[in-house]
Amino acid sequence: FVGSVRMCIRDRRETILRTTQQIHDLFEEMAGDRKARLDQIAQAETGTQQLQQTLQMHERRLAELRQRAETLRSDLAACSSRKLELEGLVTMIPRRGAEVAKISEKNLKDVLEVRTCLDSLAVRLACQRITDEQIDDLKKACDDFVLATKTGEATAITKADVKLHDVIVRATGNERLQQMINTLSEQMYRYRFEYIKDSAYHALLIEEHRRIYESIAARDEERAVAEITQHIENQLYTIRKHLHFTE
């Protein structure tokens, strides 16, 4: 009986030791998990702080870029308005800003006088330098202008007219001349629109374009200069008449 009691006590002791060890291991595991979780939380908090700092930095940078863009936009608007004012396209009115300038006879004459000189040089150089391919382009531009007049849309007709003259300017091969004429064209556009929107002059324009094309295709400089000069003089007469300017 005593032996049985001793064996029972020994088994109980071993059971208690095993259970104690299991409890100890469980606590160790839980402590390890807790530490790992605390590390993860700390890393997450650190990452969150870094992310917040990064976002704040980008927000400050974005605010700086917005401010710079606003400044550039204001400067660009001021420069554009000044440029348009110098070109006579707008009038600057104190405390009111820019208004579209009225077409004046003096400005019209000034612009067309300069255009006569530049276009005369352009057709002369085009006669000397135009390629066969560019001659075909010029012919197509003339045909496209005819088609545009049939639409009755002043904007489409004006664009076709600009395209035709652009072919001639490109044929000169003179980049500086192209820049000068392109700058003048911005001022000419409103005048060109005035005489193109009246369909009564379309037939005359088609005929003038045909004669200019033929003279350049034939590389006849004097005739080309005469045709372009007459073309511009007719524009001056037509616009003056349309705007009721007196002689």
| pTM for this predicted structure | 0.60
pLDDT of residue 244: 64
On whether the CB atoms of residues 185 and 162 are closer than 8 A, the answer is yes
Which pLDDT band holds residue 85 (cuts at 50, 70, 90)?
Answer: very low
Average pLDDT over residues 196-212: 91
DSSP run (H or E) holding 93: strand 90-93
Taking residues 109-129, what's their average pLDDT? 93
Specify the pLDDT at position 214. 98
What size, in residues, is the chain?
247
Q: Looking at residue 175, what is its pLDDT? A: 94
The pLDDT of residue 223 is above 80: yes
Residue 84 has pLDDT above 50, yes or no: no
Mean pLDDT of all residues belonging to the chain: 78
Q: Calculate the CA 152 to chain-centre distance.
A: 29
- pLDDT band of 32, cuts 50, 70, 90: low
Please answer whether residues 194 and 241 qualify as being in contact, where contact means their C-beta atoms are separated by less than 8 angstroms.
no
Find which of 79-93, 138-152, 230-244 is predicted with most confidence, using mean pLDDT: 138-152
